[in-house]
Amino acid sequence: MTFKDMMMGNSPYVSQYQDAPNDMRQRADHLCWQLNQMDPNVQEARQKILMQLFETSENLPFVAANFHCDYGFNIHFHGMALLNDNVTILDSSPVHIGANAFIAPGVVIACAGHAVLPEQRVAGIGNSAPITLKDNVWVGANSVITAGTTIGAGSIIGAGSVVTHDIPAGVIAVGSPAKVVREITEADRVALTQF
């Protein structure tokens, strides 16, 4: 089993940093740099870079300015998604992003972590676990989604929240750590103004 195989698996893992595939990370750094230098109006050229970065031509998201990821190949979109400005995805494990996900400016999705004991951190020991955002999730601005968590379908994470555990479907969760404050109900439907 290669390090990349381990990274692409759905199980948490522990490793030493020097084992990480730096060539793949450098490739992603370069592609992100190219993407972030482009005029936002040249969508066809941006899509070509996204196809290389995510290693797919299906379900490509809209990605706004200043996007960064560690590898790209470990980010999987299951339908159209919107990634707003300054989104960072540390994809040392699989990140699954459901259809119609809205990821607001400044969001960090971090599969990677570090050892708690200082001597292990200094020795380069880290850990990683997958993250899943189900369909129709909205993650508010400047939120952080941590390793090993799943956000259920249709849920909203309030701005500035830190998700450290699974969030069920159909709820609003806010805070650090994020806690469910209520369910989303029909009473939340917005009445449109007719022109």
**The pLDDT of residue 101:** 98
Lowest mean pLDDT among 9-13, 60-64, 91-95, 188-192: 9-13
The type of residue at 184 is I
Q: Is 114 assigned a catalytic role?
A: yes
pLDDT in tens, 139-169: 999 999 999 999 999 999 999 999 999 999 9
What residue ranges define each of the domains in the chain, with the CATH number in brackets? 3-184 (2.160.10.10)
**The pLDDT of residue 80:** 94
Nearest 10 degrees: Cα torsion 74, 105, 153, 63: -50
Catalytic residue among 68, 76, 114, 165: 114
pLDDT in tens, 90-144: 999 999 999 999 999 999 999 998 888 999 888 888 889 999 999 999 999 999 9
